Structure 1
Amino acid sequence: MQILKEDVRQSILRAALDEFKSHDYMDASMRRISSAAGITTGNIYRYFKNKEELFEALVRPVYEKLLENVLDLKKELDHCYTPQNQGINYLKRVEDTIVGLFDAYSAELTILLNRSTGSKYGQAKADLVQLIVNILEDAFASGWENASKLTPEQRQSARMFAGTIVEGVCLILRENEDGGTVKRLVNEFVYLYYLGIGSRLTT
């Protein structure tokens, strides 16, 4: 009986994954999810008390891994920053983190960054932008201890680069499902920003 219950739960999660890939959190329908899972709408609530809990079961693992990986990277940058374009190298590792997570959680990462508006994870994209802003500010300042000396223009540049990078990656995730294609496009996209960031670091 327990095995059968777990099978039903996994069917619900698979159906929910498809639903949230196709619809924003606010527009997703528990009725459509239950129909795709082959159960009644009433029965779905025996496994998940509401849409929020179901959405969280899907995206929480990738959200936690994304923040954990980027925060670890930020701590590493704070403690062992060296000049000579280290900011660009760390940004490349942020990119590698996103691509690596896509390999393991392709649908979940796409949902988290593109379909979570209205949920408790609606700020995930903004959180990622802010973490990248912090990394770029450290890079522009040649280390976190000098970040307070940044000019308003440098801070605006960091926010512009970070926001555009995250939005670009979200667009790539939204329009492509093949891992190899995603990796190639992200590499090409971020490389273009390396050029701009590299010139900004030398001014």
Structure 2
Amino acid sequence: MQVQKEEVRDAIIEKAADAFFQHGFEKASIRKIAKEAGTTIGNLYNYFENKEELFYIIMKPTYDRFINFMNEHHNHQEHHEGQWINPGEIQDLLKEMINDLDRVFTRELVILIDGSKGTRYEHVREELILFLIEHLNGHLSEIAQLTNRQFQPEFSRAIASGFLDGLLSILKTVCSTEEMKTLIGQYILFYIFGIMGFAWTEKTGR
């Protein structure tokens, strides 16, 4: 058995992350990963038992951050439950959140959401949609009380799915961290104001 070297392990992880981002877990070639990392497939298996273990090692830190991010947001939402936050407060909250965007919204998150089929993380996309639906339902239930109107579950799912697809589009195409922060900040702001605008329309009947 060859002696493991940190630089070889790091190269394998880097090239595997590239492959998972480009092709997803199922279509990523372990042989190609080894070649691009400058090693043999036999030596790769000295570092990682299989492709599943390699994927898990790369994705676990991102998944843990993702769960923490959702829990923090859930706690913040509970704190403001029943309150209508004004636009100025929303922008202040976004400014605080912007600093953490590059920690949470990474290409590894794209892999988790869009390229993890066949792994223990393939549930993440649906988990995130359900999280968004729960978030939306909290706001829409308040609107329903004000307007005496019922909303179908499909309404929240459609908005949540559309929001997630837009977020993925930004993360897949933007390379600069600063540009990513700006676009995601604008996108979330547009999304929040859209819900508030919908509520205002329903309250005024316009």
Common fold, TM-score beyond 0.5? Answer: yes
Change (3 A) 1:119 1:102: farther
Where does residue 71 of structure 1 map in the other structure? 71
Residue aligning to 1:53 = 53
Does the aligned pair in 2 maintain the 1:85–1:198 contact within 8 Å? no
The verdict on how the C-alpha distance between 1:150 and 1:76 changes in structure 2, with shifts beyond 3 A counting, is: farther
Asked if residue 167 in structure 1 is aligned to residue 149 in structure 2, the reply is no
Q: Give 3-state SS (helix, strand or coil) of 1:45's partner.
A: helix
Question: Structure 1 177/71 Cα, relative in aligned 2: closer, same or farther at 3 Å?
Answer: same
SS of the residue aligned with 1:60?
helix
Q: Which residue of structure 2 lines up, in the alignment, with residue 84 of structure 1?
A: 84
Alignment partners' CA distance in 1, 2:189 and 2:10: 39
Give the C-alpha shift of residue 80 in structure 1: 4.3
Contact 1:34 1:40 in 2 (8 A): yes
Alignment of 1:22-33 (within 5 A): 22-33=22-33
**Deviation of 1:53 (Å):** 0.8
Deviation at 1:173, TM superposition (A): 0.7
Contact 2:102–2:177 (8 Å) recurs in 1 = yes
Provide the rounded CA distance (Å) in 1 between the counterparts of 2:189 and 2:117.
Answer: 29
The one-character-per-residue Cα deviations of 1:90-149 (angstroms, maximum 9, x if unpaired) are 9x76x947x835357733223223322332222212211111111121122249xx9xx9
Q: Choose 1 or 2 for highest CA Rg.
A: 2
Letter of the 1:159 partner, please give it.
Answer: R
Aligned partners of 1:61, 1:100: CA distance in 2, in Å? 15
Q: Who is 1:42 aligned against?
A: 42
Q: Please give the alpha-carbon distance, in whole angstroms, between the structure 2 residues aligned to 1:188 and 1:59.
A: 27
Q: Residues of 1 paired with 2:134 and 2:69: CA distance?
A: 14
Please tell me whether the aligned partners of residues 107 and 172 of structure 2 are also in contact (alpha carbons under 8 angstroms): no
Deviation (angstroms), 1:166 = 1.1
2:110 is matched with which residue?
Answer: 110
The equivalent of 1:151 in structure 2 is: 150
Identity level (%): 27
Aligned match for 2:193, one of 195, 198, 203: 195
The structure 2 residue matched to 1:183, chosen from 181, 184, 195, is 181
Residue 7 (structure 1) aligned with residue 7 (structure 2): yes
1:121 counterpart SS class: coil
Alignment root-mean-square deviation, CA: 3.2
Segments of 5+ residues of structure 2 without an aligned counterpart are none
The whole-number CA distance in structure 1 between the counterparts of 2:101 and 2:14 is 18
User: 1:29 Cα deviation (Å)?
Assistant: 0.6
Structure 1 position 193, deviation (Å): 2.3
Deviates more, 1:72-81 or 1:124-133: 72-81
Q: Please give the alpha-carbon distance, in whole angstroms, between the structure 2 residues aligned to 1:201 and 1:81.
A: 16
Once residues 151 and 131 of structure 1 are traced to their aligned partners in structure 2, the CA distance between those partners, rounded to angstroms, is: 20
CA distance in 2, matches of 1:105, 1:36: 26
Distance in 2 separating the partners of 1:80 and 1:186:
22
C-alpha distance in 1 between matches for 2:22 and 2:122: 16
Query: Quick check: 134-143 or 27-36, which moved more?
Result: 134-143
